Amino acid sequence: MKNTALIKSKQAFNPFLPSYEYIPDPEPRVFGDRVYVYGSHDKFNGIAFCILDYVCWSAPVDDLADWRYEGVIWQKKNAPGNNKGFLNAMYAPDVIQGTDRRYYLYYFIGYNGYIGVAVCDTPAGEYKFLGKVKYADGIELGKKKEPLQFDPGIFIDDDGRVYLYTGFGPVNYPKFLMKGHKATKEGAMCFELEKDMLTIKGEMEYIGVPSKPCAKGTSYEGHEFFEAASMRKIQGKYYFVYSSFVGHELCYAVSDRPDGDFKFGGVLLSIGDVGIEKQACNSTGNTHGGILELNGRHYIFYHRQTNRNSFSRQACAEEIFLKDGHFAQVEVTSCGLNGTPLRGEGEYSAHIACQLYGKKGAHFYGAFKKRKGCCPYFTQSGKDRENNPNQYIANFCNGATAAFKHFNFDGANKIDVKVKGNARGVMKVFYDLNDEPVAEITIIPTKQNTTFSAPLKPKQGIAPLYFRFEGKGKCEFKSFELFKL
């Protein structure tokens, strides 16, 4: 974790939005002096992906801890042909400012739907339907037996040329969801658009980022294209970000041109830290996001899984580091956009844990499969809402571990944990799981939120905090607090 001299009164955490907000597929864009995040919109404890209307959040470019709710920007009912069923949800949008200075929102409706475009005079106003992406002859994209379109990514190059990226690369996907379409074996697709931002110019191009059937023997093998196309231009080169076939990682490819010859670059991030740790250290499932370049620094936005399924996902972000044109994989943290480790004192909500797993490891959350058993997970009390955040870790049972990364410690010597439940045992705290615990907090059953305390071995400098419960029963892990007495 990079340490800087940056000092702020308000800190940024992961997830960076209020914990009641479930925004997956985050695409960050800088318009004017603010960063805007566009994404799908999950419902807490929902029954399917992306079933709510699009909303937008923004923050000043110089304070990524100060996020403001911009409201609903595009409603499902305004999308032509949307029957409001969960299979016609709105997936993974992207927004770009056109050469006419207006803002264009690209979205996809349903597995058997279309790529539509809405337009607005402001980044986060009320978007109005413009049309469906179509060929010059007027036929809609997707109506000529092309591979299934999905997750549109939009990009305008320095010369004003407009490119649309799409693609969906499953294997043995249920036919009823494909509705007669085929998956894209050749991988990610690119369409150049006319200045109207709707009409396809020329022919479809495969950009050289293959799906699983065509990746054998290539550098993409093991990291094949699945979905989540996102394009950025950085230092004169084109960086294509995508979600790989394994789901839990975001990868990238690089080219000298926007419409082909892409070469595999590597993994940017795994939401389970696969590739950094020996095994997944967090619940895995799909993820999706894009790169933000801001003030000479780069960040990868992504989403994490919560609530033991894939339908309550939350936006997170990490700083990534470019060296000689290459991004190395970074770990997930609790302080992604903060610019510096968190302060080693004060109270922290347990929902900002960046690693969370049980005695037998972490679960994979596939679509329509809710996991059970003794494995901790993030959840909230009550129903889906737009206020009163109270997310916490549930099912914190014997062997459960939560990690928080990273803190800049300055001699904190006491630690509290706030829990609720029938757990009886010891909450052990570590700076390093390979060393002895630095605090041991006795936990007894309690029917209400209760604080338990213990001395903490002081430390100077940057380190993570790990919490591991050993005992019987289970508790709801609400928060912890560090003191320097």
Is 224 known to be catalytic? no
What is the residue-wise DSSP string for 361-406?
B--B--TT----SS--EEE-SSSS-SS----EEEEEETT-EEEEEE
Give the residues across from 108 on adjacent strands: 91, 115
DSSP 350: G
Residue 413, token pair as written in the block: 């010597």
3-state secondary structure of 213: helix
Residue from 23, 27, 292 nearest 154 by CA: 27
Give the residues across from 189 on adjacent strands: 166, 206
Exposed/middle/buried for residue 214 (C-beta within 10 Å: 0-12, 13-18, 19+): middle
Catalytic residue among 21, 25, 42, 192: 25
Residue 264, token pair as written in the block: 């595999």
In the block, tokens 């022919």 appear at 203
Q: What are phi and psi of 61, to 5 degrees?
A: -65, -20
Q: Which residues contact 343 (CB under 8 A, 6 or more apart)?
A: 11, 407, 408
Q: Which residues contact 475 (CB under 8 A, 6 or more apart)?
A: 396, 419, 420, 421, 422, 423, 443, 469
* CA–CA dist 48, 86 (Å, integer): 6
Is 476 known to be catalytic? no
Catalytic residue among 186, 224, 227, 318: 227
* CA–CA dist 160, 158 (Å, integer): 5
Give catalytic residues, as residue numbers: 25, 227
